[in-house]
Amino acid sequence: MTLRKFKHHYRLEMEIDKRPFWMAVAILAVGLLTFISLAIHRWATSSKTYYINPASEEESTFRRLSPDEYSEETKKRLEVVDTVGASPMLIHYIERFAKEYGVSARYLVCLAREESRFDAQAVGDSGRAVGPFQYWLGTWQMFRRQMGLSTEDLRACEEESTRTTAWAISKGLDRHWSVASKCADEKI
């Protein structure tokens, strides 16, 4: 503590050690980040495999089913497919477009899992690949032109991305995905 004299007044100045304050801030920040990461981990791992009733497209069918509720067709078609982290809507679109384009739902699930862990907002390849199936813009536009659909950038849209992927697989264009060989067993 020092007393400083100025032209017309004196000021008592005290130097305060600011380190304890910043240490407390750092500890709180680490604690908050730990809490957030644990919450995200708990959320991501708490979801089970989603199955939907393939005979119905009603939104009310999107719920977690217990194993004894699975239809025989769903059990046979999906068996044990790792869909942890996939939204029920993505699974719905996979089922819908797999049926529409005559491709394997398991193969589509495998591609989405390997490419993005089912994250519609995923960005990869230094920002060039986007969406659950990780389309590059040029590939997206080429496929969409061939389909006769808009080339608007809808790569992060679960519905349009799944539609385009199912179409591409039905045309034998799955070589555009580097993980296709990992999922080859699911193609049946």
What residues does 2 pair with on adjacent strands?
A: 13
Cα–Cα distance, 109 to 81 (Å, whole number): 8
* Token representation of residue 58: 């009603």
Q: Where are the alpha helices (DSSP H) in the chain?
A: 19-46, 72-78, 88-101, 105-116, 137-147, 158-170
Q: Poorest-confidence range of 2-6, 109-113, 129-133, 172-176?
A: 2-6
DSSP three-state, residue 130: strand
pLDDT of residue 188: 57
Let me know: does 107 contact 180? Beta carbons within 8 Å. no
**What kind of fold does domain 51-187 have according to CATH?**
Lysozyme (1.10.530)
Q: How confident is the model at residue 30 (pLDDT cuts 50, 70, 90)?
A: confident
**For residue 85, is pLDDT > 70?**
yes
Domain boundaries, the chain: 1-46, 51-187
Cα–Cα distance, 70 to 29 (Å, whole number): 44
Q: Poorest-confidence range of 56-65, 78-87, 134-143?
A: 56-65
Supply the DSSP string of 26-69, one letter for each residue: HHHHHHHHHHHHHHHHHHHHH-------TT---GGG-SPPPGGG
pLDDT tens track for 123-148? 988 889 999 999 999 999 999 999 99
pLDDT of residue 136: 93
Give which of 173, 37, 166, 168 is closest to 109, Cα–Cα.
166
The mean pLDDT of 172-180, rounded to a whole number, is: 85
pLDDT of residue 66: 55
Let me know: does 38 contact 79? Beta carbons within 8 Å. no
**For residue 14, is pLDDT > 90?**
no
The mean pLDDT of 54-81, rounded to a whole number, is: 53
